[in-house]
């Protein structure tokens, strides 16, 4: 029988990791689905927000684009792509017409790839792989801790 403290610790460690893996796999799935079955359209980049993240190995920048486009039915849509690619601040596409693919049942779910629409951005793939690795590492940390707690009667 496990300790309630260990159970809470396990939940606090594993739950965020599992959520991270879920969101990364979801982004990868959206990208694949939209790139293969999404309707094609042309959109206009109307706004760009630069987001910087800092980590142990430096910082990275993502450009979050707001894009306007018309669906095949003539419905106007304004939004951000479901899976953002890493962006080079010098490669700002504001004011440019960009190809995109959208979900015809929910047009606000779309992708606007920088390159080949059939290939997901490397960032999305790396996040999914790293999420799985982190989850596995977390699981391997928790299992030995359970053994240690058992030694102390926990």
Specify the number of domains making up the chain.
1
Cβ count near 55 (within 10 Å): 7
Beta bridge partners of 78: 68
- Given a cut of 60, whether residue 120 has pLDDT beyond it is no
Q: Is the pTM of this model over 0.75?
A: no
Between CA 103 and CA 107 the distance in angstroms is: 5
Cβ count near 149 (within 10 Å): 15
Residue 52: which domain range? 4-151
Q: What is the pLDDT of residues 64-73, one digit of tens each?
A: 889 999 999 9
Return the structure tokens found at 137.
């590492």
Q: Which residue has the higher pLDDT, 142 or 23?
A: 23
Residue 2 sits at φ, ψ, to 5 deg, of -85, 160
70 CB-near residues (< 8 Å, 6+ apart): 41, 76, 77
Q: What is the pLDDT of residues 29-83, one digit of tens each?
A: 777 788 888 999 999 999 988 877 777 777 777 778 899 999 999 999 999 988 6
* Average predicted confidence (pLDDT) for the chain: 76
Q: Which residue has the higher pLDDT, 88 or 125?
A: 125
């Amino acid at each position: 029988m496990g300790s309630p403290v260990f159970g809470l610790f396990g939940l606090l460690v594993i739950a965020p990791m599992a959520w991270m893996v879920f969101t990364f796999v979801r982004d990868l799935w959206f990208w694949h689905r939209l790139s293969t079955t999404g309707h094609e359209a042309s959109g206009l980049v109307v706004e760009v927000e630069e987001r910087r993240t800092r980590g142990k190995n430096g910082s990275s920048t993502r450009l979050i684009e707001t894009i306007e486009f018309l669906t095949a039915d003539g419905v106007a849509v304004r939004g951000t792509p479901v899976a953002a690619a890493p962006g080079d601040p010098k490669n700002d596409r504001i004011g440019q017409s960009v190809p995109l693919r959208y979900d015809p049942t929910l047009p606000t779910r779309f992708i606007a790839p920088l390159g080949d629409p059939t290939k997901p951005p490397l960032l999305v793939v790396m996040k999914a792989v790293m999420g799985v690795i982190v989850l596995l590492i977390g699981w391997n940390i928790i299992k030995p801790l359970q053994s240690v707690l058992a030694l102390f009667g926990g």
